[in-house]
Structure 1
Amino acid sequence: MNIDWSIIVPSTINFFIFYLILRKFVFNKTLAVINTRKEEVESAFKKARDEEERAKLLKQKYDEDVKRYRNDGLKLVESYKQKADKVYAEIVEDSQREVANIKERATKEIKREREKASKEIKQEIIDLSMKLAEKTLEKEINEESHRELIDKFIAKVGI
């Protein structure tokens, strides 16, 4: 096999010239496009990582807010429960006080009625005793002295 240098040398020179032309006009622009694209991809990845980090922080803040709101809600419910219990206790206490007042008034009223009835019975006994004494003695007795005698008699008997 024979090497034909007359073809190899001009071919090699053409190849280097072609390479330099490609390098000057195509490779640099292609590398620039590739580098630009690489930077865009890296920027997109960085942005995605930043967004992911931001999302994690927002989720953490959201979880903390939910926990805080839940605790606040429980405290609020407990506060309203305590207020309701207090109102319930006040209502029960007021009712018991009212029942005691009614009972006391009823007791006083019963006592007054008993005393009134007792006085009326005494008066009836006195009147009947006077009529009986008048009929027995067939004469009229001094009403005031007779009443005094009957009152003493009733006091001794215990009416």
Structure 2
Amino acid sequence: MSFSLGTILAQLVIFLLLMVLIAWKAVGPVVAIMDKRKKYINSQITTAEKSREDSQKYLELQKEELDKVRRESHEMIEQAKSQANAEAKAIIEAAKNRSDLMIKDANEEIGLEKEKAIAAIRDEVADLSVMLASKVLEKEINPKDYSNEIDQLMKQVGNQR
């Protein structure tokens, strides 16, 4: 293998020309594509970070809204419970008032019936007294007969009840 200076120089010049040609036609576009790709990736990373920040803000907002809705629903439940308790108390009070009124009416009716019964007994006692007096006046009574008449009268009063 022999090396000639002319061949080496020719190869060196061809190699350098190829390098320049490759740099001009291949490397420039590849670098431009790489720069474009780098810018695209950087913009995607920036967009992703911005989206993540936006979603984080939205998540916080949603958590606040959820807490607000929970508080409002709890307040509504408590308000409904207190309203139900108030209505229950009102219903119980109305029922108590109604039962008191019914008891009062029943007591008045019992009192009236009692007075009617007493009046009826008085009338009956008066009738029996008149009947006893008429029997006494009809015949002469000795103490033994009088005692028998009173016993019979008491039996009649007892049977009529």
TM range, smaller chain: 0.7 to 0.9
Q: Does 1:101 align with 2:110?
A: no
Identity %: 24
| Alignment partner, residue 35 of structure 2 | 35
Of residues 46-55 and 5-14 in structure 1, the stretch that sits farther from structure 2 once superposed is 5-14
Q: How far apart are the structure 1 equivalents of 2:13 and 2:64? A: 72
- What letter is aligned with 2:122? K
| Alignment partner, residue 118 of structure 1 | 118
- Cα deviation for residue 111 of structure 1 reads 0.6
- Cα deviation for residue 11 of structure 1 reads 5.8
- Cα deviation for residue 8 of structure 1 reads 7.2
Deviations for 1:64-90, whole angstroms, at most 9, x for unmatched residues? Answer: 121012112101211211121122112
Q: Does 1:54 align with 2:54?
A: yes
Count of residue pairs the alignment pairs up:
136
- Cα deviation for residue 27 of structure 1 reads 1.8
Q: How far apart are the structure 1 equivalents of 2:41 and 2:83? A: 61
| Alignment partner, residue 21 of structure 1 | 21
Q: How far apart are the structure 2 equivalents of 1:82 and 1:95? A: 20
Structure with bigger RCO (C-alpha 8 Å, 6+ apart): 1
Instruction: Give runs of ≥4 in structure 1 deviating > 4 Å.
Output: 4-16
- Cα deviation for residue 123 of structure 1 reads 0.4
Q: How far apart are the structure 2 equivalents of 1:8 and 1:22? A: 20
TM (norm. structure 2) is 0.73
RMSD, aligned α-carbons = 2.2
- Cα deviation for residue 110 of structure 1 reads 1.2
| Alignment partner, residue 68 of structure 1 | 68
TM (norm. structure 1) is 0.74
| Alignment partner, residue 134 of structure 1 | 134
- Cα deviation for residue 13 of structure 1 reads 4.6
Q: How far apart are the structure 2 equivalents of 1:50 and 1:123? A: 107
- What letter is aligned with 1:50? K
Q: How far apart are the structure 2 equivalents of 1:53 and 1:110? A: 84
Deviations for 1:105-148, whole angstroms, at most 9, x for unmatched residues? Answer: 11101110111011011101211121122223339xxxxxxxxx
User: Gapped runs of 5+ residues in structure 2?
Assistant: 140-161
Deviations for 1:26-57, whole angstroms, at most 9, x for unmatched residues? Answer: 12101111101101110121121022112201
User: Gapped runs of 5+ residues in structure 1?
Assistant: 140-159
